[in-house]
Amino acid sequence: MYLTWMRAGTERLLEIVDGLEEPRFAEPSPLPGWTIGHLVAHLHFNARALGRLASWAATGVETPMYDGAGQREQEISAGATLRPVVLKGLVRESAAELDGLLSALTDEQWSSSVVTAQGRTVSAEEIPWLRVREVVVHGADLDGDTWAQWPEELLRALVVEIVEQRFARGQAAALAGVLTGRSPAPLPPWL
């Protein structure tokens, strides 16, 4: 299921990225401090990072998403300076590489444990879900309202995860106010 959602989300994301005009890459994104170029670079490097987890699952050799705390930010900052046509190609290339790595995993490898950038130990089966969140949420960031196109089951899984994480961050009251339509309390971006 997650792999199917990942592929559909990736297909839609690539359509969105391919349709971005070059000047848009310099415009602000919905994420504070990031341009559209930063966001597209993040999507490329996120696929690469998740590919490292897939390699870990395939080989058993510990391969973290990032070598150090600053790697993610450095990659995104450097990637945002690339020409839009180059970034578009990189997003397509890294998405295909990730899909290939995941498609090659055996049943046994899918059950391997890997550690996310946040330090959570998960089975490799969750890697496609980690990518689904990125391509669906950031696809909406790039293209506005794309939520209605996704299956209800995917949206339910996403909303449940968001609610759980908001509670864990102590944002239950603000979330309840927003969800009941009783409070315009702003919540920071989830992802």
Instruction: Tell me the pairing of strands 113-115 and 121-123.
Output: antiparallel
Give the single-character DSSP code of 116.
-
H or E element that contains 137 = helix 127-143
Tens of pLDDT, residue by residue over 3-19, are 999 999 999 999 999 99
Neighbour-count burial for 24-50, b at 16+ CB within 10 Å, e otherwise = ebeeebeeeebbbbbbbbbbbbbbbbb
Residue 189 above 70 pLDDT?
no
Proportion of the chain above pLDDT 70, given as a percent: 95
Using a cut of 0.75, tell me whether the model's pTM lies above it: yes
CB 139 within 8 A of CB 14: no
Q: What is the C-alpha separation between 45 and 72, in angstroms, rounded?
A: 8
Q: Give me the pLDDT at residue 144, please.
A: 67
Q: What is the pLDDT of residue 56?
A: 98
Average pLDDT (145-150) is 81
Are 9 and 136 contacting, i.e. CB atoms less than 8 angstroms apart? Answer: yes
Please provide the average confidence, as pLDDT, over all residues in the chain: 93
In the numeric block, which tokens belong to residue 126? Answer: 């969750």
pLDDT for 85-119, tens place per residue?
A: 999 999 999 999 999 999 999 999 999 999 999 89
Model confidence at 180: pLDDT above 90: no
